[in-house]
Amino acid sequence: MRYASVTDRLAGLGGAKWEIHARARALKASGTEIIELTIGEPDVPTP
């Protein structure tokens, strides 16, 4: 199996990648219209 190149970049971030997720959630909560593609929800289709 071949992983996307972003996988290698995120692997080096350690716990810092969760900051990206938290920032996306905060922006969404503040009313900013974003498409959040951070973690994914396997039971919801991709937009």
Distance, C-alpha 20 to centroid of its chain: 6
**Could you tell me the sign of the dihedral formed by the alpha carbons of 29, 33, 37, 38, in that order?**
negative
Report how far residue 20's alpha carbon sits from residue 44's, in angstroms, rounded to the nearest whole number: 20
Q: Where are the domains of the chain?
A: 1-33
- Global pTM reads 0.52
CA 29/CA 11 separation, integer angstroms: 27
List, for residues 1-47, the tens digit of each pLDDT value. 787 777 777 777 777 778 888 898 899 999 999 887 766 666 667 66
